Structure 1
């Protein structure tokens, strides 16, 4: 595998080195892992298209991309409800 050099400040280098050590990996392995966790715009678009195709098959109704874009954020709404319940529970437990 060919390697390359990336220039960063000493502070960033030291921070990354500490993270790598804590995780039991080399600095190069850490950078590779961090990069793998961040999909490109093209990869995100590819995943979105695949997810929409699965949803269309499961629902059994052909929905356009525009209809998906206009649909409510169900997962976001679930997170909001859960967060509100957690805040309420903390408020009554205090």
Structure 2
């Protein structure tokens, strides 16, 4: 595999080197893993299209892209409810 050089501040380099050492990997491996974990806009769009196609074919829900876009953010709502429950619980403990 070909490699290249990127320029970052010394502070960023040192921080990345420490993270890599803590994870038992090289700096190059760490940067690769970080990059792979962050999909591009094109990759996110491809995943969204594939997920919507999955819903349409496997689950059998025949809705348009516009209907998907207008659907409630169920996962986001679950996260908000969980966060509120945690805040309420923490307030009762304090």
TM superposition score category, shorter chain reference? over 0.9
Counterparts of 1:1-94 in structure 2, within 5 Å, are 1-94=1-94
How far apart are 1:59 and its partner, in Å?
3.9
Q: Which runs of 4+ in 1 moved over 4 A?
A: none
How far apart are 1:49 and its partner, in Å?
0.5
Gaps of 5+ in 1: none
How far apart are 1:26 and its partner, in Å?
0.6
Task: State how far apart, in whole Å, the 2-side matches of 1:26 and 1:61 are.
Answer: 46
Number of residues paired by the alignment?
Answer: 94
Task: State how far apart, in whole Å, the 1-side matches of 2:58 and 2:80 are.
Answer: 25
Listed one character per residue, the Cα deviations across residues 38-58 of structure 1 (whole Å, up to 9, x for unaligned) are 111111001001111112234
Task: State how far apart, in whole Å, the 1-side matches of 2:57 and 2:92 are.
Answer: 44
**Normalised TM-score (structure 2):** 0.92
Gaps of 5+ in 2: none
2:12 is paired with a residue of what secondary structure? helix
CA RMSD across the alignment: 1.2
